[in-house]
Structure 1
Amino acid sequence: MPSTFERKKNSIVAQLQVPDIQYSDLSPKGTLDVDIRPLIHNVNSKEGLVTTSSCAGRISVFLEGKRKNDSPVIGENIVTSDEAFRDLSNKSGGTSVGGKGRGGRWLYVSHDPIPLPSGDIGGVPGFTELFGLSTSGREFPHSEDTRYVHFKFEPMILHVLTASLEHAQTVLTAASQAGFRESGAVNITSNPDGETTPMVAVRSMGLAFDSIIGCLHNSTDRVPETIFSLVGEPYLRSLVEIGNMRFRENAHRIERFAKALDIIHPPGVMAKPGEREWEDTDTRRERKRAEGLRKRLALQEARRQSPSANGSGSEYGATVPYSLENPIPHEASL
């Protein structure tokens, strides 16, 4: 097992073992999603795999950041937990269309289906209020600088660090079978130490959707900054219903992925009890070659000691003893 992978996995697993009351990460929620905990523990129980970031799926309402800014962006963009969904800033210092960027912020985030009011909704806050929008606005002129409010559903995303290309392939195969067809891997070449530790992203864009539901009216001397809704309450309810349906399908895919991964890569080490531990392709090839030579040597020895080996007409009578100086060619293997 690559030493680099071992160190990273030990560190990550140790962090995940911290009690919930003490655990914190850089995501808006600051904790692991409850619905994805079993999957994370299952993946981390397998030899050669460890999760590095995750989100079980979410409905979010967020305000875009400013797209133009003369100030340079300092530092790096780090993806942790459900920050994996963040739209990264472009090199000009602003954000791309729809990006979170400077001044962007979440107005609402839920990692579970949103309850729908039933019957008379009098006195029950509507989705406009729930999402932090105002209905007292009028139409506003739109420009390249207009900052919009997005309603989004984003399905599960899971990043898995793997110990080899073979381990990465097991994750990708399970992901494809479960419906996460946009999954992929990076870091598939060896590092300077000769180790290959691919990072696999398990994801699906087929369930995702994005709808603009509001915009920001910048503050002036007379009017404070206000976020106005561009759609009515029935439309927001329809979006919520669609998001809730996507949550259910997302849960089914997560379950299918976990089952497929267990079949392809059972919990624990890849080798069965009593067998050797994981080995890379070159090591396995050399081991198989050595095992084949030993078997052929044993077969040659058994033939030489059999009674028929001394018969003048035996087809084995002229058998040449095996030696390292006179190896058996591949064409003669049984």
Structure 2
Amino acid sequence: MAGFALWKERRLRPGADTSRKGRVDAPIAELLELLNGSERYCSTSSCSGRLLLLGGSDQTEGQKQNCPWLFVTHQKCRTEDVVAGLQKAQDNAVFKFEPFVLHVQCREVQDAQLLHSVAINSGFRNSGITIGKKGKIMMAVRSTHCLEVPLCHQGSVLVSEEYIDYLVQVANRKMEENQRRIERFHASLRSLIDSTAPIEEPGGETVKAAVVYTRRRRRGAAERQQRHREPTAPSDGEGDLGFLMGPT
């Protein structure tokens, strides 16, 4: 575990952030401080969620890093903000909502499992765990309520301002839901970290996290068994679903 601690120390040094912005987004700064304050986790990349107007001739996943941002905000936006951004477009432009995303390196698989449960129960249903060939354990917090709409092609705006106004309303509602999910995740993460504070046995073995995870897994299995016996309304995402290894 010393290797993880050393890597984390280097990763969190001032100036180590190589993102375009060079710092974490303000809406999730406290969340990341809480996460990185735990000896079990280290954030590697994050975005609190954003609305942006992406310009350029190619907005594919592999090329969008080189596309100009005509407008971007991590809060709700106004129709006039998007319209003003469109006036800067020289070729194509796409209006997007991208939800909160967080990538975390975890010390142990057990730690990733616990964080995955928190993410799923907070509404981030596309979350998952990956383990690299060298044993690197990564946990990705993701959701699927995205939005991507082309507004301009070869310099010509494709839609009316009325339609842009409608898109902005839809995107702002998604941003509000995004913030609610972040708040649930933050609160649940605080509970997780408090409940998994290390407890040393006389032989030096840390056991608290294993006990917590075992209880949650058993409770989740019991609830699933009960749902099979007594059909209920579809889940609203608030219940404890137990541990899931991949996207749902």
Calculate the TM-score normalised by the size of structure 1: 0.55
Q: Larger RCO: Structure 1 or Structure 2 (Cα < 8 Å, ≥ 6 residues apart)?
A: 2
Contact 1:65–1:100 (CA under 8 A) maintained in structure 2: no
Distance 2:46 2:37 in 1: 16
Is the Cα contact below 8 Å between 1:62 and 1:107 reproduced in 2? yes
Structure number with higher strand proportion: 2
What is the aligned partner in structure 2 of residue 182 from structure 1? 126
Question: Partners in 1 of 2:55 and 2:94 — Cα distance?
Answer: 7
Does structure 1 residue 214 correspond to structure 2 residue 142?
A: no
Give the aligned partner of residue 168 of structure 2: 240
* Corresponding position: 1:47 with 2:2: no
Give 1:277 shift.
6.2
Q: How far apart, in 2, do the equivalents of 1:208 and 1:52 lie? A: 22
1:76-87 matches, cutoff 5 A = 87=61
Whole-Å separation in 1 of the counterparts to 2:85 and 2:26: 23
Question: How far does residue 29 in structure 1 lie from its aligned partner after superposition?
Answer: 2.9
**1:170 correspondence with 2:114:** yes
Amino acid at match of 2:11: I
Maintained 8 Å contact 1:183/1:200? yes
Whole-angstrom distance in 2 between the partners of 1:249 and 1:178: 11
Q: Residues 165 and 197 of structure 1 are in contact (CA less than 8 Å); yes or no, is this contact kept in structure 2?
A: no
SS of residue matched to 1:14 = coil
Structure-to-structure mapping, 1:203-282, within 5 angstroms: 203-205=142-144, 207-216=145-154, 227-266=155-194, 270-272=197-199, 276=204, 278=206
Evaluate the alpha carbon distance shift between residue 108 and residue 51 of structure 1 in structure 2; reply closer, same or farther with a 3 A threshold: same
Superposed, 1:1-334 pairs within 5 Å as: 2-15=1-14, 25-66=17-58, 87-88=61-62, 99-100=63-64, 104-115=67-78, 127-133=82-88, 148-187=92-131, 191=134, 196-205=135-144, 207-216=145-154, 227-266=155-194, 270-272=197-199, 276=204, 278=206
- Compute the displacement of 1:149 (Å): 1.8
Give distance in 2, aligned partners of 1:214 and 1:3: 52
* Alignment gaps of 5+ in structure 1: 16-22, 68-85, 89-98, 117-124, 138-146, 217-226, 285-334
Q: Which runs of 5+ in 2 are unaligned?
A: 211-248
Taking a change above 3 Å as real, the CA distance of residues 9 and 257 of structure 1, as seen in their structure-2 partners, is: same
